[in-house]
Amino acid sequence: MKIFRGRVFTPVGDPFSAGDATASYRAWHDGFVAVDEGRIAAVGDWRDAPRAAEVTNFGPDSLISPGFIDTHLHAPQLEMIGSYGGHLLEWLNRYTFPTEAKFADPKHAEKVAKIFFDQLLRNGTLTALVFSTIHAAATDIFFAEAERRGIRAIIGKTMMDRNAPEVLLEKARDSYEQSRQLLLKWHNRGLLRYAITPRFAPTSTPELLELAGSLKREFPDAYVQTHISENAREVSWVHELFPQAEYADVYDTYGLLDKHTVLAHGVYLTDEELDLLSHRQSRIAHCPNSNLFLGSGLFKLHHVRECGVVVGLGSDIGAGTTPSLFTAMADAYKVQQVQNVSLTPLQLWYLATLGGARALSIEDETGSLEAGKSADFLVLDLESTPLLALRMEHAESAEDLLAGLIFVGDDRAVSRAFVAGREVLRRDRVEEPVVS
Ligand code: GUN
Ligand code: ZN
């Protein structure tokens, strides 16, 4: 048994639900997390910590928190962050497709895979749902690198058979076969899971969606990830391509909606579509940084949640401009502010941790610091920069401490990270002024 000592904060419930928000979390100024064989054995006040175990004391200026959970991003798009000008459909054609075509070369995939998972860990993301490209070899490389790093990841080979450059199109049957092979190799291997990944309705023929659905029927516990209703022109295009149905019905027709389905964006969903998603228990990945960068629109978080749909947070690299979930939380706050809704720091931290775990149906395993769960946690350095240290001097409560981290903190605050009790990141303070 190992004991980790420091400040501790963890959500244990949903702070959006009516009632007392203070019941939705636990916090200890001088707390501990006890870890045994990769699992959390106990969490609480230091005075109640089990004795006679090996203790690592991070000190009072460190916060132990659950790791962040990114419910939507594209590994191959890391190198094209900040490709500016144009909304979704121009952006895809101008930048995204040419970038993804480079992943036909496994050497390129190897290079990017290393940097990609490095960036996730530095930013405190310990669980991620990830798009690869159409390339089976590149997807295999992303899985292998995730396994090597010890991160918890759900990854899928993108499936596309129309409306993209020729080099990124596959035959629907090949796409199915290659996805199936990757699924058989990686799904439920250690911390890894497979996601069946039709890119979105416009790049899918009915035949491709049919085959994606039959793969899902064959492997009902596999994930499905795709995009939905991100951009107004995209929605009109889907109506032209699939005139018989609303956008969400397209995926439903092919059996692609269940509780292991995560749909990115959902900015323009109708109430009927939200009812359908709620009924099917499908999830939405809200990606505020991406929605702002591409000018896609303003997500109606409360309305979507009130319709009974579970929502997680996503960075949506590379339409999102950073893998940081600190930024995703800050941008989620701003997207609601301009719609006259003020999210609380407890709600934002929940979305980035336990809420994300619920979105991925892994809340029994991770997302909070509670006995029995996997020991997935971050150690955040509350003095990682002079500005954060100053802000922390004025943090009045656990909630205000989170606010400081969300709006002033960044990847430099992530000093250590553990997944299933294994240390996956250790970083010293990086910044010292030349003259102080
Ligand atoms: N819709 C279809 N593909 C993509 C993508 O790569 N990024 C975003 N943001 N939306 C998409
Ligand atoms: Zn995306």
In a domain, residue 304? The reply is yes
Question: What SS3 state is found at 111?
Answer: helix
Answer whether residue 331 is part of any domain: no
| Residue-level pLDDT at 22 | 87
236: helix, coil or strand?
helix
Does 32 lie in the same domain as 81? no
Q: How many domains does the chain have?
A: 2
Q: Is residue 356, in this structure, part of any structural domain at all?
A: no
Are 183 and 77 contained in the same domain? yes
Q: Are residues 292 and 155 in the same domain?
A: yes
Q: Is 398 helix (H, G, I), strand (E, B) or coil?
A: helix
Ligand 1 centroid from CA 92, angstroms: 7
Residues 209 and 272 in one domain: yes
Q: Which domain holds residue 209?
A: 68-323
Q: Identify the CATH number of the domain in which residue 21 sits.
A: 2.30.40.10
SS3 283: strand
**Paired tokens of 170:** 């596959």
Say if 293 falls within a structural domain.
yes
pLDDT at position 428, please? 83
How many angstroms does the Cα of residue 293 sit away from the middle of ligand 2?
13
121 lies in the same domain as 29: no
Would residue 361 count as lying in a domain? no
From 96, 228, 296, mutation site for ligand 1 pocket: most ligand atoms within 8 A of C-beta: 96
Task: Using the 3D structure, point to which of 323, 354, 385 is the last residue of a domain.
Answer: 323
Q: Whose CA is nearest to atom 9 of ligand 1?
A: 319
Spatial separation of the C-alpha atoms in residues 22 and 24, rounded to whole Å: 5
Choice from 79, 230, 263 to test ligand 1 binding pocket (greatest atom count within 8 A of CB): 230
Q: Which of 114, 131, 137 is nearest to 185 (CA)?
A: 137
Q: Which atom of ligand 1 is nearest to the CA of 227?
A: 1
Would residue 301 count as lying in a domain?
yes
Both 234 and 209 in one domain: the answer is yes
Residue ranges of the chain with pLDDT lower than 70?
Answer: 430-433, 436
Same domain flag for 182 and 56: no
Mark whether 12 and 96 lie in a shared domain. no
Report the pocket of ligand 1 as residue ranges, CB < 6 Å. 74, 88, 92, 96, 199-200, 227, 230, 290, 316, 319
Dist. CA 73 → ligand 1 center (Å): 9
Last residue of a domain, one of 323, 354, 379: 323
Give the Å distance between the CA of 381 and the centre of ligand 2. 31
DSSP labels for 328-353?
A: HHHHHHHHHHTTT----HHHHHHHHT
Same domain, 134 and 267: yes
Share of the chain above pLDDT 90, in %: 95
Q: Which ligand is nearest to the CA of 83?
A: 1
* Same domain for 138 and 35: no
State pLDDT tens for residues 33-75. Answer: 999 999 999 999 999 999 877 999 999 999 999 999 999 999 9
CA of 270 to the centre of ligand 1 (A): 20
Could you tell me the CA-to-CA distances from 196 to 34, 85, 163, 180, 246 in Å, in that order? 36, 30, 19, 9, 21
